[in-house]
Amino acid sequence: MLKRRLGKTGPEVSAIGLGAMGMSTDWYGHADEAEGLATIDAALEAGVTLIDTGDFYGMGHNEMLIGDALKQGSKRDKAVLSVKFGGQRGPDGHWLGYATDRNATRTALAYTLKRLRVDYIDIYRPARVSPLVPIEDTVGAIAELVKEGYVRHIGLSEAGADTIRKAHAVHPIVDLQIEYAILTRGVEDKILPVLRELGIGMTAYGVLSRGLISDSALAGGSRSGFRAMAPRFQGENLDQNLKLVSALKAIADEKGCTVAQLAMAWVYAQGEDIVPLIGARKPARLAEALGALYVTLTPADMARIEAAAPASAVAGTRYPAALIPTLDSER
C-alpha cells in the first residue's frame, strides 16, 4: 500500500483512508454490521491504516463496531484512528449542537476510548468549530490530552482559514478534514493555500460528492437519507449535475476505470499532502476504491476533467441551507 504523511508533524498513513460513518447510519442506505466488519478487516489486510470515525456516528455504534474489528486478532497496531467529537444528539437522533469546551472534550475522549477499547487515539479533532468556544480553548484542551498520552495528534474538521491559523498557533495541527471533490472545490480558494503554508495535511471526505459521481447516480440510484435533503440532488440541480457526471464518465470509460475511480484518482492527484477518505461499506466498494490508486491521470486528463466539470458549472450547495451556518469553512 502506498503511503502519505499527514502534514509536517503527523503520522504516516495509507494513501487512502476508510471513512466508517456509513457502517452505522442509514444516511446513505441501509447499514449492515457484518458487512461493515468485513470491510474494516479487508481494509486492514490490504494495508489501509487510516480509519476515520466520529463519536456521534450511530450514537457510539460506529466506535464500538471499529473496536470489535480491531479486537479480532489484535489489530490495533495496524490502524491509525482518526476520531471526531463534539456532536450532540438527543435520544430521537436530532442534532443539539456542538460541545467542545475542556470538560466536554475530556469526557468525550473518555467514552471514545472505552467504546473503541483502546488506550489512545491517533488523531483527535472537533467535528465542527463551535461558535460558543474559542478554537484556542478546544485545541488547548486536546493538547493537554496529548501531554497525558491519550492522544497522539490534533486535527480539525471543516475549519476556515483564520481558524486554522489560530488553532495551529496553540499546537501543531496535522490535518484538516474537509469535503473536496471534482464537484466540490471551494477549499482551493483560501483554505488549501493556508494548509500548505503551515505544513498541514488534508483528509478529504465526500470525494464522490455524496455518491453523485457514480454509475449508480447515473442509473437513478437511491436518493434517500442525506441525499433527500442535499440541494445538489434536487430537481434541476440534479439534472445539471448529472450532465457533468456523464461527461466525466466518458473520460473514465476511455481510461478503463469507473467514474467513481476517476473521481478518487483526481483527488489523490491534487497533491502528496492530501489523503482521500473512502466511505466504503462493503468489501466490493473498498476494492473499487483501492483500484483508483492505480489510475494515472496525465496533465491532458486533468485538463479534460476540468473542461468537463468546471467548478462554476456545479448546481446547488454541498449542504442544505440550514446547515451551511454550522460550517466554519463556509464563513
C-alpha cell at 312: 462554476
What type of residue is 329?
S
| Lowest-pLDDT range of 19-23, 28-32, 159-163 | 28-32
Query: Phi and psi for 23 in degrees, rounded to 5?
Result: -75, -10
User: Domain 3-210+267-296 sits in which CATH superfamily?
Assistant: NADP-dependent oxidoreductase domain (3.20.20.100)
The residue behind cell 442544505 is: 320
End-to-end CA distance of the chain, in Å? Answer: 37
Mean pLDDT of the chain: 93
Domain ranges in the chain are: 3-210+267-296
pLDDT in tens, 88-139: 988 887 888 899 999 999 999 999 999 999 999 999 999 999 999 999 999 9
C-alpha cell at 281: 461499506
pLDDT in tens, 61-74: 999 999 999 987 67
CA dist 143 → 98, 119, 124, 133, 313 (Å) = 19, 16, 10, 16, 42
Q: What percent of the chain has pLDDT over 70?
A: 97
Q: Which residues of 88-114 are buried (b: 16+ CB within 10 A; e: fewer)?
A: eeeeeeeeeebbbbeebbeebbeebbe
Query: Phi and psi for 131 in degrees, rounded to 5?
Result: -70, -10
Residue 65 CA to residue 55 CA, distance in Å, equals 11
The residues assigned a catalytic role are 57
| Residues 210, 226 contacting (CB under 8 angstroms) | yes
Q: Residue 222: what pLDDT?
A: 59
